[in-house]
Amino acid sequence: MKPNILFVTIDALRADKTYGKNKTSTTPHIDSLISKGVYFEQTFAAADQTGSSLASIFTSNFPITFGINQFNFSSKTETMLDTFKKSGYYIDGFVPDHDFFKSLAENFDNSDIYEAEKKASWKRLDDGLGDQIIDRITTNKMKKPWFLYIHVMDIRPPFEVSDEFKDEKFGKNDYEKLVSSIDFWIGKIIEKIELSNTLIILSADHGEFIPVTGEYIGGSSKAQRALRKSTKSIPVLDKLGLKAVMNLRFASQTYKKEILKRKLTPFQMRSFNTRGADTLYDEITRVPLIITGYNITSHKIISDLVRQVDIFPTLLDISELPKNNNVDGRSLLPLFSGKKLEEIPAYIETGINLGRLMDKKSELLGKIIGIRTSSYKYWRSRDDPKENISLFNLHEDPKEENNIAENNLNIIKKMEDHLTQLMKKSNNDKNKKMTNEDIEKAKELLLKLGYV
């Protein structure tokens, strides 16, 4: 009998805030899933941006090889879900009103697309989404075997916590308090599922920078919130001076950072960075991965480096469904039984940010690409391998504070060899220049997600 599959991705959930000594949230239900199954400590997303990262999961291909990212994913994109559907699975989902998810859900048998129109009104689990998910599971509305995909948007800057979870026992900062609140709903959902015939996967699209002071200095001003609430189209925003608003925000952030630099270390200052910029630290690329339930009989914490492109090949293997060998990912099932797999480096890249689009940059792609192994992290400019180069020895410098690129050209050459191999596989047809219409759509999407 084929297992039912529950696949949950939690937006911006960091690995170190899910499991380990750096976690201060209260997560008995996530802890229980880990204790009953397999947890991968070193899982890396392909991108620091939602659509690009999730596209790599669902296609099992890196953005650099398959050419699919946040802005060119469509309902015609072949995904690994197609194999499940062809094998008789009923595909259902709860996803936000975001172009990537809407395209993905077009091929579902059923889906609920919940509101994510404005940052202030994202629908969270507490807002009825959790109850809707439970209703879908308990009323047997899904035909068996089913594949239920859920993307949760509860953790997003400026980390607004409900009154119920504001107590410090739920975490030292608002981010971790939100993790505690999600765990509460994870427990309510899992309670309605029979683990013996359901495979459960919990992961994230990317990590997030968490300000050490608890102050989200990128927070919107009243004027910015008013702009988002009162306007519905990018042309109107442009007319009202969106770029001017962004420039004001940037100036405000710069001023606040200059003040903070006087009392914080460079590592602490990094917590005020943003995604989609010019760095690829583990805070935004290392994500949790839990696989538990159906046919998983032993608890394991696996420290091997794995990639999110490996998730779907693993699910196909566990479900005994046909494999697709023309992908970047591979099955991790041998690791479940203690076998060894040769390490394959993880590809990582930044997403595109709103600032570049406001400057009418026509590229679909983020500025930085890189390679992550268990020993080294390397990144550089996408357009010029001699620009913005960073290299870190992760054994000696796990916090990635000391750039050793200048004196380790031999290691950089090996990293560049990895990138070269990936580029040889690149599907250049999909990496097209953006039209003006594409740029406007991309700007609207980034505004919805709170990037202004």
Q: What single DSSP character describes residue 47?
A: B
d(CA 303, CA 40): 6
Digit-coded pLDDT (tens) for 96-115: 998 899 999 999 999 999 98
The pLDDT of residue 243: 59
Give pLDDT tens digits for 291-335: 999 999 889 999 999 999 999 999 999 999 998 889 999 999 999
> What is the average pLDDT across 166-181?
96
Distance CA 349, CA 58 (A): 17
**Alpha-carbon span 77 to 82, nearest angstrom:** 10
Contact yes or no for 365/431 (Cβ under 8 A) = yes
Q: How far apart are CA 79 and CA 222, in angstroms?
A: 41
Task: Read off the pLDDT of each residue in 368-385 and give the average, rounded to a whole number.
Answer: 97
Determine the Cα–Cα distance for residues 18 and 366; give it in Å rounded to an integer: 27
Confidence grade of residue 365 (pLDDT, cut at 50, 70, 90): confident
pLDDT tens sequence across 438-447: 666 666 666 6
Phi-psi region of 60 (alpha: psi -120 to 50; beta: other; left: phi over 0): left
Specify which residues 148 forms β-bridges with.
6, 92
Assign 356 a pLDDT band (cuts: 50, 70, 90): low
Q: Can you tell me the distance from the alpha carbon of 327 to that of 66, in angstroms, rounded to the nearest whole number?
A: 9
Count of Cβ atoms closer than 10 Å to residue 322 Cβ = 8
Over 80: is that where the pLDDT of 437 sits? no
Q: Are strands 112-114 and 146-152 parallel, antiparallel or unpaired?
A: unpaired
Average pLDDT (113-133) is: 81
pLDDT at 98: 87
**Does 346 score more than 90 pLDDT?**
yes
User: For residues 251 and 243, what is the distance between their CA atoms, to the nearest angstrom?
Assistant: 12
Q: Say which residues have a Cβ less than 8 Å from residue 276's Cβ, sequence separation at least 6.
A: 48, 49, 350, 351, 352, 353, 366, 451
pLDDT more than 90, % of the chain? 72
pLDDT on residue 227: 43
pLDDT at 203: 98
- Residue-level pLDDT at 230: 44
Amino acid at 382: R
The pLDDT, as a whole number, for residue 96 is 94
What token pair was written down for 146? 């089913």
- Residue 252: the pLDDT is 75
3-class DSSP string for 59-103: HCCCHHHHCCCCCCCCCCCCCCHHHHHHCCCEEEEEEECCHHHHH
Residue of 98, 95, 93 lying closest to 108 (CA atoms): 93
CA dihedral of 227, 229, 235, 240, whole degrees rounded to 10: -20
Q: What is the pLDDT of residue 298?
A: 83
- Average pLDDT over every residue of 163-169: 96
CA 393 vs CA 15, 371, 400: distances in Å: 20, 13, 8
How far, in Å, CA of 93 to CA of 73, rounded? 17
120-129, 287-296, 430-439: range with lowest mean pLDDT: 430-439
